[in-house]
Amino acid sequence: MAELQEVQITEEKPLLPGQTPEVAKEAELAARILLDQGQTHSVETPYGSITFTVYGTPKPKRPAILTYHDVGLNDKSCFQPLFQFADMQEIIQNFVRVHVDAPGMEEGAPVFPLGYQYPSLDQLADMIPCILQYLNFSTIIGVGVGAGAYVLSRYALTHPDTVEGLVLINIDPNAKGWMDWAAHKLTGLTSSIPEMILGHLFSQEELSGNSELIQKYRNIITHAPNLENIELYWNSYNNRRDLNFERGSDITLKCPVMLVVGDQAPHEDAVVECNSKLDPTQTSFLKMADSGGQPQLTQPGKLTEAFKYFLQGMGYMASSCMTRLSRSRTASLTSAASLDGNRSRSRTLSQSSESGPLPSGPPGHTMEVSC
């Protein structure tokens, strides 16, 4: 018998003709993202079952990034463009992610039976400890949009020791007043539920323009098989309680917060008011131009870069490579007088598509920096 010889074969992966190493790396990254579908779990809570999807593995001494979506959306339609953005990959490689779907909002969710009592936003917040206990996670960095931003804020108020930071997009911390209720009821007489939700998600300019993005999301919401469930979530959002934020009081967010809103967005005034009620030394305010009502969908690059700065400010990803915003002047410090007359400092980020010089202004006025 002939003697067998061990032969070592080296697998080679040549680049395609004309393909640069950078392009090859991006293609490999895209393939990895497509293959990474995450692991979906459901857990029972005192207020019903809740579904969430986990991506990645926990990192030692690092919180999980936990997201919560807005009304009319689910975790994928709300956050997929942001977390699949190329520059976001550096972040998701450093953190495990938990994308939460509000009850009945997950893909393939059955319609709740007639008379089902949907959880209030406060009760949705009380479901989050069950998720963290199931996963054995001790702390999170929350990323929420609209109703999801409210839910995460309510959770942070009751469980401050488990929240290291919050990114709140389009948050409205106020309960509806009588005028709001009257307007809501009047609109309900002339508009369908999908159109009312679209008016909540996007600016009137966007809806009038009827872009491809608007057509896509109008189709998603109008033809959603769980539209009855969406309406229940919508009703819970409209029945929310006031978060009662007050600067200098015990009712405030104790962790670093980045408030985000698009220029001309439906919730611009509410986010500006929220910024005025939070601790200015802990709060960053990002007013993003050319982003409409959903910055995470229309400007994922700018939001990713701001998120990196936010994480660096918390002590994570100190060696992170900045790309777009680091090449332009995007951060400014504003001085504002607090109610007791003492000066405090708040951080404001503002972005637009045009470049320009650093504007100057008197103390106490916000300075916006374009990029």
pLDDT digits (tens), the chain, 371 positions: 444 444 443 344 444 455 566 665 665 555 454 445 789 999 999 999 999 999 999 988 899 999 999 999 999 999 999 999 999 999 999 999 999 999 999 999 999 999 999 999 999 999 999 999 999 999 999 999 999 999 999 999 999 999 999 999 999 999 975 555 455 555 554 569 999 999 999 999 999 998 999 999 999 999 999 999 999 999 999 999 999 999 988 889 999 999 999 988 999 999 999 999 999 999 999 999 889 999 999 999 999 999 999 999 999 987 665 554 444 433 333 333 333 444 333 444 544 433 333 333 333 333 233 33
| Residue 157 token pair | 């108020």
Residue 100, domain extent: 34-175+229-314
Residue 279 covered by a domain: yes
Residue 5 covered by a domain: no
Q: Which residues neighbour 225 within 8 Å (Cβ) at sequence distance 6 or greater?
A: 111
- Reduce the DSSP state of residue 38 to 3 states and report it: coil
Residue 356 covered by a domain: no
Strands across the sheet with 48-55, in order?
Answer: 39-45, 48-55, 97-101, 64-68, 140-145, 163-169, 257-262, 283-288, 343-351, 331-337
Beta pairing, strands 343-351 & 283-288: parallel
From the list 337, 326, 335, the residue with the least C-alpha distance to 367 is 335
The answer to whether 48 touches 124, Cβ cutoff 8 Å, is no
> Where are any strands of DSSP class E within the chain?
39-45, 48-55, 64-68, 97-101, 140-145, 163-169, 257-262, 283-288, 331-337, 343-351
The domain spanning residue 102 has which CATH number? Answer: 3.40.50.1820
For the CA atoms of 209, 211, 214, 220, what is the dihedral angle to 10 degrees? 140
Residue 334 covered by a domain: no
How many domains does one find in the chain?
1
| Residue 291 token pair | 């982003």
